[in-house]
Amino acid sequence: MRVLGIETSCDETAAAVVTEGGDVLSDVVRSQVALHAPYGGVVPEVAARDHARAVVPVVREALARAGVTAADLDGVAVTSRPGLAGALLVGLQTAKGLAWAAGKPLVGVDHLVGHLLAVFLQRDGAPEPDERPAFPYVALLASGGHTAIYRVDGPALGAIRELGATRDDAAGEAFDKVAKLLGLGYPGGPVVDRLAADGDAAAAAEAVPAVMARKESLEFSFSGIKSAVARHVAKRGRPEGQALNDLCAAFQGAVVDALVQKTVRAARAEGIERVVLAGGVAANRGLRAKMAAACARRGLGLFVPPFASCTDNGAMIAYAGALRLAAGERDTLDLAPETRTALPRVTRKGGGVR
The residues binding Zn ion (CB under 5 A) are 143, 312
Biggest alpha carbon–alpha carbon distance for the chain: 62
144 binds, among Zn ion, ligand KG4, none (CB under 5 to 8 A by kind): ligand KG4
Choices 14-22, 124-132, 227-235, 273-281; region in contact with ligand KG4 by CB under 6 A: 273-281
In the chain, DSSP finds a helix count (H) and a strand count (E) of 11, 10
Q: Is 193 in the site for ligand KG4 (CB under 6 A)?
A: yes
Of 115 and 151, nearer to Zn ion (C-beta) is: 115
Closest distance to ligand KG4 from the beta carbon of 111 (Å): 7
176 binds, among Zn ion, ligand KG4, none (CB under 5 to 8 A by kind): ligand KG4
One of 5, 22, 136, 172 touching ligand KG4 (CB under 6 A): 172
The site string for ligand KG4 over 8-27 (x = CB under 6 A, - otherwise) reads --x-----------------
79 binds, among Zn ion, ligand KG4, none (CB under 5 to 8 A by kind): none
Of 219 and 312, nearer to Zn ion (C-beta) is: 312
Cα–Cα dist 183/174, whole Å: 14
Of 228 and 316, nearer to ligand KG4 (C-beta) is: 316
Q: Is 190 in the site for ligand KG4 (CB under 6 A)?
A: yes
Cα–Cα dist 242/232, whole Å: 16
What b/e string do you get for 154-193 counting C-beta neighbours within 10 Å, with b at 16 or more? Answer: ebebeebebbbbbbbbbbbbbbbbbbbbbebebbbbbbbb
175 binds, among Zn ion, ligand KG4, none (CB under 5 to 8 A by kind): ligand KG4
One of 312, 317, 322, 343 touching ligand KG4 (CB under 6 A): 312
Length of the chain: 354
The site string for ligand KG4 over 93-132 (x = CB under 6 A, - otherwise) reads ----------------------------------------
Cα–Cα dist 283/165, whole Å: 19
The residues, ordered by sequence, that sit 6+ positions from 13 with a Cβ below 8 Å of its Cβ are: 7, 29, 30, 32, 50, 51, 54, 55, 58
Stretch 37-96 residues interacting with ligand KG4 (CB under 6 A): none
Closest distance to ligand KG4 from the beta carbon of 130 (Å): 27
Helix (H) or strand (E) holding 78: strand 75-81
Cα–Cα dist 79/7, whole Å: 5
Helix (H) or strand (E) holding 25: strand 24-31
Closest distance to ligand KG4 from the beta carbon of 175 (Å): 4
Phi, psi of 220 (to 5 degrees): -115, 160
Choices 65-73, 92-100, 276-284, 294-302; region in contact with ligand KG4 by CB under 6 A: 276-284
Closest distance to ligand KG4 from the beta carbon of 280 (Å): 2
Residue 327 three-state SS: coil
Residue 266 three-state SS: helix
Helix, strand and coil percent figures for the chain, each rounded to 5: 50, 20, 35
Binding site for ligand KG4 (CB under 6 A): 10, 143-145, 172, 175-176, 187-190, 193, 279-281, 283-284, 311-312
